[in-house]
Amino acid sequence: MKKIYNPEIKEWGELLKRPTQTIADIEDTVLQIFDEVKAEGDEVINAYTQKFDKVAIQNILVTPAEVEEAKMLIDEELKTAILLAKSNIEAFHNAQRTERVAVDTTDGVSCWQEKRAIQKVGLYIPGGTAPLFSTILMLAVPANLAGCKEIVLCSPPNAEGKIHPAILFTADLCGVTTICKAGGIQAVAGMTFGTRSIPKVYKIFGPGNQFVTVAKQLATKFGVAIDMPAGPSELLVVADDSANPAFVASDLLSQAEHGKDSQVILVSTSKSMIELVEKEVAGQLEKLPRKEIATAAIENSKLIYVENDQIALDLINEYGPEHFIVCVANEDFYVDQIVNAGSVFIGNYTPESAGDYASGTNHTLPTNGYAKQYSGVNLDSFMKSMTFQKISKQGIKNIGNAIELMAEAEGLQAHKNAVTLRLQSLSEN
Q: Which CATH architecture best describes the domain 2-19+232-360?
A: 3-Layer(aba) Sandwich (3.40)
CA 141 to chain centre: 14
Q: In Å, how far are 83, 112, 192, 402, 419 from 38, measured between CA atoms?
A: 38, 40, 9, 49, 46
The whole-angstrom separation of Cα 191 and Cα 175 is 18
Which one is catalytic: 280, 323, 352, 363?
323
Domain range list for the chain: 2-19+232-360, 23-100+121-227, 392-428
Question: How confident is the model over 215-274, as pLDDT tens digits?
Answer: 999 999 999 999 997 778 899 999 999 999 999 999 999 999 988 889 999 999 999 999
The predicted pLDDT at position 131 comes to 86
Q: Which fold has domain 392-428?
A: 1.20.5
Question: How confident is the model over 168-178, as pLDDT tens digits?
Answer: 999 999 999 99
Catalytic, 322? Answer yes
Q: Is 415 annotated as a binding residue?
A: yes
Q: What share of the chain is helix, strand, coil (3-state, %, to 5)?
A: 50, 15, 35
**pTM > 0.75: yes or no:** yes
What is the biggest distance separating any 2 CA atoms in the chain, rounded to whole angstroms? 88
Spatial CA neighbour of 39 closest among 206, 190, 207: 190
Sign of the Cα pseudo-torsion (351, 353, 359, 365, in order): positive
Angle at 97 between CA 95 and CA 100, to 5 degrees: 145
Residue 21's pLDDT band, with cuts at 50, 70 and 90, is low
Whether the domain at 2-19+232-360 and the domain at 392-428 fall into the same CATH topology: no
- What DSSP string describes 1-63? -EEEES--GGGHHHHT--S---HHHHHHHHHHHHHHHHHHTHHHHHHHHHHHH----S-SBPP
Q: Is 410 annotated as a binding residue?
A: yes
Q: Check if the beta carbon of residue 190 is closer than 8 Å to that of residue 198.
A: yes
CA 363 to chain centre: 7
Q: Is 272 annotated as a binding residue?
A: no
317: number of Cβ within 10 Å = 18
Question: How confident is the model over 313-341, as pLDDT tens digits?
Answer: 999 999 999 999 999 999 999 999 999 99
Q: How far from each other are the two terminal CA atoms of the chain, in whole angstroms?
A: 82
CATH homologous superfamily of 23-100+121-227 equals: Nitrogenase molybdenum iron protein domain (3.40.50.1980)
Amino acid at 215: A
Q: Check if the beta carbon of residue 179 is closer than 8 Å to that of residue 60.
A: no
Q: Is 258 annotated as a binding residue?
A: yes
The predicted pLDDT at position 209 comes to 82
Question: Residue 24 pLDDT more than 80?
Answer: no
The strand pairing partners of 345, in sequence order, are: 325
Question: How confident is the model over 181-203, as pLDDT tens digits?
Answer: 999 999 999 999 999 999 999 99
Averaged confidence pLDDT in the chain: 95
The strand pairing partners of 61, in sequence order, are: 180
Q: Is 356 annotated as a binding residue?
A: yes
Q: Check if the beta carbon of residue 261 is closer than 8 Å to that of residue 26.
A: no
359: number of Cβ within 10 Å = 17
Question: Residue 5 pLDDT more than 80?
Answer: yes
The predicted pLDDT at position 29 comes to 94
The whole-angstrom separation of Cα 69 and Cα 92 is 31
Which one is catalytic: 234, 257, 322, 352?
322
The predicted pLDDT at position 128 comes to 66
Helix H or strand E encompassing 101 = strand 101-106
Sign of the Cα pseudo-torsion (323, 326, 332, 337, in order): negative
Please state, for a pLDDT cut of 90, what percent of the chain lies above it. Answer: 90
The predicted pLDDT at position 429 comes to 73
The whole-angstrom separation of Cα 320 and Cα 4 is 19
Question: How confident is the model over 82-121, as pLDDT tens digits?
Answer: 999 999 999 999 999 999 999 999 999 999 999 999 999 9
Q: Is 164 annotated as a binding residue?
A: no
The whole-angstrom separation of Cα 376 and Cα 381 is 9
Amino acid at 15: L
Catalytic, 93? Answer no
Q: Check if the beta carbon of residue 239 is closer than 8 Å to that of residue 272.
A: no
